[in-house]
Homo-oligomer: A and B are copies of this chain.
């Protein structure tokens, strides 16, 4: 059994965040010492590692809640879990696509002022003011 600070160190999740996860129902309410401090065991550590890993992968608290529920009901959980992971993957791919479009425009904009040619007005500001200067939709 170890304290919340120890759990924090081992999982690299900050102490207030652990308490927040408990409040949100992601972590079961921890056992307490006679002085009301939380104590955790290996199971708590593993669950928090799971949560942290999923958060790192961009899963929402809500999605993680669903995954945790699936863990507790293993029948058909595999398909449902795969669905959640797949939709997360689709979201990530959509974000990448959008960011790549932005990257193109930003790199065009931020190159504008370096060379010669544009000196009268600021090309960055003009680009932002006038969407028509964009190469494509975004």
Q: Which residues of A contact B (CB under 8 A)?
A: 46, 49-50, 53-54, 56-58, 67, 70-71, 74, 77-79, 81-82, 84-86, 88-89, 92-93, 95-96, 99-100, 102-103, 105-107, 109-110, 112-114, 119, 122-125, 128-129, 131, 138
Contact = CB atoms under 8 A, between A and B. Distances in A.
A37 B110 CA distance: 39
Give the number of copies in the complex.
2
Contacts of A50: 128-129
Main secondary structure of the interface of A (DSSP, over half): helix
B96 A103 contact: yes
A74 B113 CA distance: 14
A123 B50 CA distance: 13
